[in-house]
Structures are given as C-alpha cells and as structure tokens.
Chain A
Amino acid sequence: MLLQLYRTMALIRAFEEAAGRAFHDGRIRGPVHQYVGQEAIAAGVCANLRPTDYIASYHRGHGHAIAKGADVRRMMRELLGRQGGTCGGKGGSMHIADFSVGMLGANGVVADGVTIAVGAAQAVKLLGEDRVVVAFFGDGAVNRGPLLEAFNWAMVYGLAVLFVCEDNQYAATVRTSEFTAGEGIVARARSFGIPSESIDGNDAAMVYETSSKLLSRVREGQGPALIHASAYRWYGHFAHDSGAYRDGEAHRRALEGDPLEHCRRALLKHEVSVQALDRIREETQDLVAAALREAEAAPLPAPAEAFTEIQDVGAEWR
C-alpha cells in the first residue's frame, strides 16, 4: 500500500512541477494552483475510495483528480487548453473535473465544493446508492459561512461525507492562523458533533490509516467525519505568486517536511530499494513529460466550441 501511495504522490509531484514550469514558460495561459507539499493527503485519502465514490475539490485540485484516477494526459491537455482535455479546454486548471472517475470538479470559489459534496451525499441517500463522498478544502475555507452551514447540514441529515481540511497554513497570501479566531477547524467541526482528527498531512501512511478508519464509519451510515491534515504549500498561492512574503527560515524548515521524502524513508525501512523508488520517480516524470508533449501537439479547440454546453433551452441567442 505504501508503495502505491508513493507512486500516486510521485505522479502528482511530477505533474505539478511540470505544470509550474509550463506556466512560467508561457505554455499555460491561466492561473495554476500547485499542490506540491500536500500530495500525501490526496493520495492517502483516495486510496480508500472506490471508483464509484465521489470527491469534490477546490482550486488546488490537480492532486485530487490524479489520486482519484483521472488521466494525466487529458488533464495536461486541459491545462494547455487543448482538444481532448478533461473539460474540452473550457475549464482549465481551476475547473479540472472527471466525472468518469467520480471527481466532481475543482472549484474556483472557496468552500463551494463542500456544499456541493453534501448535496452529492444527499443524492446518494435519496437514490439508495452505496457511495461515500469526500470534500477536500483548504484552511482558507474555514472562515467561509457556507462551510459551517455544510457541517451542520451533513450532521442534521446524517450524510456519508468525509470532510478533509488540507491545512497548508496559508489562505492565499496570509497566514490563516492570524485570521482565525478560536481553536480552529477541528474545534469548529466538533462543536457540530462531527468526529474529527488532526494529523500530520506529510505522513501518507497516517493519512491513509486515519481516513480508512473514519471512512468505514461514514460507509456504515454513522454520519460525517472530518480530518484536519497539516502540510505546507511549497509554492505561492498560484504560480503567478512568488510567495516572497514567507519568512525565509520558517519556510526552509517547513520544506523539510516533504511528504515524498517522508514516505521514501518509510519504504526504505521496509526494504524497498533506492533503485525501485528512483525508478518510480523517473517513470512518473516520463509519464508527465509524455503527457505534456502530447498536449502540446494536440489541436486547439475550434472557436465554435465556445458556444456548446451552455444550456438546452435558450442557448441559440447570444
């Protein structure tokens, strides 16, 4: 299992580093919010999910899509705005979605994915389906009203949702702690009666085990649960942002908590060879490099595509 987590994390890392480079050399035209430093959370949680389970994500959503099984070649096409992208070039990085693997979309509005997730869980209940829903959100979302409404909602209706707060310490460019009163997200969730655990989000094995435990409760119909996973956002809020406002020394220390290195150390102790781990890094980098090459060679969408999928009724006049 740990090796599988390492592979997922390596793929996310390779994708995000490549996306960052492609942004900086002008191949990606819009905002890119990189997930580097948070890979263990998506990998650890999604390893517990079935293809039929749903996840809802937020603006930093590439990692969730990859961990849920989305195809990196189609994702890269989307980032480059090409035909064959997950959203046909209409969404871009911020709206990565792949419903074929239960990934209900990244979202450009903070906390909105969480209300959508509780609604997805309500549909699951109404239709009598056997699925759970995971709502990923950042620490910046903890001060939005709809998040607190959704916590209440999930408890009131006993919905099958796992809330996952990815605490990368920054709400865009400010430290979340400076703008959050009280004891934070876990205390807030517990005040609604939601079983909540705070863990080291750099430790993929711990994320996996905690989410496994909480998801079995959720699957059994015992209502929602929450994980607060601490990690560190390696880069700026998005690729435009150098992140220069962050303190040098604390920043350097935080980078040492690299989730991939953490996992690698654990695997080496389990007698996985250095070569095997290096090979995973190379393979995932090659996969992403091929995805990028393929995306660059893919045709741009036909301009008339701009006017498809708006609505059925009344789309003919513009």
Chain B
Amino acid sequence: MEMTYGEAACLALRQEMQRDARVWALGEDLGTIGGIAGQYRGLQEEFGRSRICDTPISESTIMGAAVGAAICGTRPVVELRYADFALCATDEIVNQAAKIRYMFNGQARVPLVVRQPIGIQKGCAAQHSQSTEAWWVHVPGLVVVAPATPADNYGLLKAAIRCDDPVIYLEHKELWPARGEVDSQQQSLPLGKAEIVLAGEDVTIVTWSKMRHVCLVACRTLAEQGVRAELIDLRTLWPWDRDAVLQSVRRTGHLLVVHEAVRVGGFGAEIAAEVSEALWRSLKGPVRRLGGPRSPVPYAEPLENMMRISPEQVAQTVREVLKEKK
C-alpha cells in the first residue's frame, strides 16, 4: 500500500494503540489539527482525548509527566514537535528518562518514545531546523532512531513503541510528504539493524534520515561514471549496526559518512573513528565525513542552501575519496 512517511507513522501508532491499551500519545496540537504534520490525523476521534492527549506548551512537564506515566504502567508516545523544542525537555530526557532504570537498579523501566522531528525544512531558520542526533546518542540509556522512508517509519515506530527503553525518535520534517510502499501487515522492524540500500564494491557510504535520499541520487550519478557505491542507511543510530558497516568497508576499503547535522562533533565522527580503529589495515584511503557547516541554519534561500548537503557534493566527495589512495 502506498502512503506518505507521515501516514505510515500514523498507521503504526493506530495499530499499536489498538493492540495495547497502555499506549497513549501526548503533545501539542495532536487533536485539533492531527499533529503539526498530520501525523496523528484521525487518532483522537478513534481513541479519545485521554489517549491522544493535547497538552499545554509545557515541554518540561510533557516529558516529565511521560516519564512518570511510563514508570507507572503506561507506554507514552511523546510528541515534541521539533527537535529544537525538545531542548526545553532535555533535563527530563537525560536526567530522568535515561537514568531512572539504572539509578533505581531496574525497579522500573521507562518505556516511552520521544518524537522530535529534525532537519532543515524550507525557510524554518535557526530554531526550527536543527539535527541533534549526536547529542542523544551520547546519553547512556537512550535508543536513537532516525527513519528515512515510509516503510521504515512504520516498522521502526512500532518497534520503538514496543521497546522497554526510552527511544528518541527522529523523523525528518522534509520527509513528511515522501511516498513509498508500506506493508501494513508487517509487525515491526528490528532496532539496530541497518539497510543496505544499494550494494557496491568500490566505496561504502553510510548515512541516515533524509541524507539517504540525497546519497541515492549521488550513487546513481556515480554508477553512470562507473563507480559502484554501497549505500547503507543505519536507520538506528544507537545502537548502530557496526557489523553491517564493518563488513562493507572490509570489502570496499573506503568509507564516507554523510549527515545533515553539523559535521563537527557529529555522529559521523564516531563511525569514522570506530571504523578506523577496527579496520585500519584494510582501509585503502582516509575515512571521510560530509556534514553541515558549523553554522546556525539561516532563512533566505541562498543562505539556507549553504547548509544543505547536495547529491553533487556527495558524488564529488566520493570521487575524491577514491583518488586518495594510500
């Protein structure tokens, strides 16, 4: 069944709420407009105002209350609207959700999902465009997921809801209208499992979220030029599928990591370091990273474009990588 990335998430949540009465969602604008991107459309009509719970603009308490509700027998899905606003709830995510199971030695688990859409969205500027995945991956206790396709948003949201750990769930705002096939009978996708989007022998490209689509365009260009790139979409960033990446790089000997988030201190650095440590003997050239410049995201189109990674940049970087042989 073809549907959008947003509709796929909505279907997944609907099915999980039908399956498990403990699942509920809370956040701003879920009922009136079905969520800022329509990703909750129709759910309040079906499940009522207590299970699709509109809230005041109180991020700290949205998150703190979700933690309290999670340790007392329910499974909340928290909508924080933008990753940028999730920063208002960082304390509750980092100090409470991620720590409670550990500091109380397993007396409680914190089964909740924190949806906080990331990424540059046309004209949204500095406070509505950030990609913060690396911040969350750094926090022990959290699982971090970043789906790139409707099928993955469906299968991974289901998995996130079923997970007993707090899951940071990062949808990309420019992917809401993206269309694709979804098997609506499918149960869930495994967390921590990458997808080999394209198989190839010459170079490994590791990416996630919207950059999967950008890289795919680049790979097609490269294929026309005789370069066969292997494209890996990590899908889950913690835990990331190290086996899939290492296996691929062992074959290709070249690695490029691509993400929209700021390159400096980005999660690409972790992947690059791990691969360099594990495979330095089989690498044929330096591991490369492509990420956003260390700048806030500006408003005007030519300025905003400076922050975006283009397929041309990816293809060009791959060509450079292949030239930089040892």
* B105 in contact (CB, < 8 A): yes
* A69 in contact (CB, < 8 A): no
* A182 in contact (CB, < 8 A): no
Chain A contacts with B in 125-154, Cβ cutoff 8 A = 125-127, 145-146, 149-150, 152-153
Q: Which of B51, B66, B92, B143 is within 8 Å of A311, CB to CB?
A: B143
Contacts of B108 in A (CB 8 A): 97, 99, 104
Contacts of B76 in A (CB 8 A): 119
Contacts of A317 in B (CB 8 A): 239, 242
* A242 in contact (CB, < 8 A): no
Q: Which of B71, B95, B142 is within 8 Å of A104, CB to CB?
A: B71
Q: Which of B107, B140, B191, B242 is within 8 Å of A97, CB to CB?
A: B107
Bound CA–CA A95/B96 (angstroms): 11
* A56 in contact (CB, < 8 A): yes
Q: Mark B157-186, 1 if CB is under 8 A from A, else 0.
A: 000000111000000000000000000000
Q: Which residue of B lies closest to A318 (CB)?
A: B140
Contacts of B71 in A (CB 8 A): 99, 104, 116, 120
Contacts of A156 in B (CB 8 A): 56
Bound CA–CA A124/B192 (angstroms): 33
* B201 in contact (CB, < 8 A): no
What count of chain B residues pass the 8 Å CB interface test? 47
* B74 in contact (CB, < 8 A): yes
Q: Quick check: A115 and B69 within 8 Å, CB to CB? A: no
Please give the distance in Å from A154's CB to the nearest CB on chain B. 9
Q: Which of B72, B102, B143 is within 8 Å of A120, CB to CB?
A: B72
Please give the distance in Å from B49's CB to the nearest CB on chain A. 10
Bound CA–CA A107/B92 (angstroms): 11
Q: Quick check: A118 and B64 within 8 Å, CB to CB? A: yes
Q: Quick check: B192 and A153 within 8 Å, CB to CB? A: no
Bound CA–CA A220/B242 (angstroms): 54
Q: Quick check: A117 and B165 within 8 Å, CB to CB? A: no
Stretch of A84-92, A247-255, A287-295 contacting B (4+ beta carbons < 8 Å): A84-92
Q: Quick check: B68 and A122 within 8 Å, CB to CB? A: yes
* B100 in contact (CB, < 8 A): yes
Q: Quick check: A91 and B105 within 8 Å, CB to CB? A: yes
Q: Quick check: B72 and A115 within 8 Å, CB to CB? A: no
Q: Quick check: B72 and A105 within 8 Å, CB to CB? A: no
* A1 in contact (CB, < 8 A): no
Bound CA–CA A312/B141 (angstroms): 9
* A35 in contact (CB, < 8 A): no
Q: A153-B58, A313-B239, A314-B143 are in contact. Are A119 and B64 (CB under 8 A)?
A: yes
Interface residues on A, range: 35 or more
Q: A149-B60, A312-B163, A314-B239 are in contact. Are A119 and B69 (CB under 8 A)?
A: yes
Q: Mark B262-300, 1 if CB is under 8 A from A, else 0.
A: 000000000000000000000000000000000000000
Chain B contacts with A in 72-119, Cβ cutoff 8 A = 72-74, 76, 91-92, 95-96, 100-108
* B9 in contact (CB, < 8 A): no
* A309 in contact (CB, < 8 A): yes
Contacts of A244 in B (CB 8 A): none
Q: Which of A112, A125, A313 is within 8 Å of B64, CB to CB?
A: A112
Q: Which residue of A lies closest to B76 (CB)?
A: A119
Chain A contacts with B in 75-124, Cβ cutoff 8 A = 86-91, 95, 97-100, 104-105, 107-109, 112, 114-124
Contacts of A181 in B (CB 8 A): none
Contacts of B44 in A (CB 8 A): none
Q: Mark A302-318, 1 if CB is under 8 A from B, else 0.
A: 00000011111110110
Q: Quick check: B104 and A153 within 8 Å, CB to CB? A: no
* A54 in contact (CB, < 8 A): yes
Contacts of B73 in A (CB 8 A): 123, 127
Q: Quick check: B91 and A112 within 8 Å, CB to CB? A: yes
Bound CA–CA A313/B70 (angstroms): 17
Contacts of B74 in A (CB 8 A): 122-123, 126-127
Bound CA–CA A121/B61 (angstroms): 13
Q: Which residue of B lies closest to A144 (CB)?
A: B60
Q: Quick check: B64 and A150 within 8 Å, CB to CB? A: yes
* B208 in contact (CB, < 8 A): no
Show 30 A/B contacts (Cβ-Cβ < 8 Å), sorted by A: A87-B103, A87-B107, A97-B103, A97-B104, A105-B103, A109-B96, A112-B64, A112-B91, A115-B63, A115-B65, A115-B67, A118-B65, A119-B64, A119-B67, A119-B76, A120-B71, A122-B65, A126-B22, A127-B74, A146-B61, A150-B65, A153-B56, A153-B65, A309-B106, A310-B102, A310-B140, A310-B141, A311-B141, A316-B239, A317-B242
Q: A86-B104, A87-B104 are in contact. List 11 more A-B contacts (CB 8 A).
A: A99-B108, A112-B91, A115-B67, A116-B67, A120-B69, A126-B50, A153-B65, A310-B140, A310-B141, A312-B165, A313-B191
